[in-house]
């Protein structure tokens, strides 16, 4: 049985990787106000911290 070009392309479709920033915003809630509007920041010494864009609370 022959497979058409459309069926073959669909069978071998590769999903696009998810932007790494999206899961961060979805998984972290601000410990101060509970908002999911959290961004990741890189510190001067290479450390990682998080900042809530709703209330301004920051933590690492």
Task: Tell me if the pTM is above 0.85.
Answer: no
Task: Give the integer Cα–Cα distance in Å for 6 and 45.
Answer: 51
Supply 54's token pair: 């709703």
pLDDT digits (tens, 9 = 90+) for 2-60: 555 544 444 444 554 444 554 444 578 999 999 999 999 987 888 999 999 999 999 98
Task: Give the integer Cα–Cα distance in Å for 29 and 23.
Answer: 12
Which residues make Cβ contacts (< 8 Å) with residue 58, sequence separation at least 6? 41, 49, 50, 51, 52
Task: Give the integer Cα–Cα distance in Å for 52 and 19.
Answer: 19
């Amino acid at each position: 049985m022959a497979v058409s070009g459309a069926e073959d392309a669909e069978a071998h479709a590769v999903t696009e990787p998810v932007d790494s920033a999206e899961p961060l915003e979805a998984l972290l809630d601000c410990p101060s106000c509970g908002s999911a509007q959290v961004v990741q920041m890189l510190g001067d010494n290479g450390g990682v911290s998080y900042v809530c864009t709703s209330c301004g609370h920051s933590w690492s």
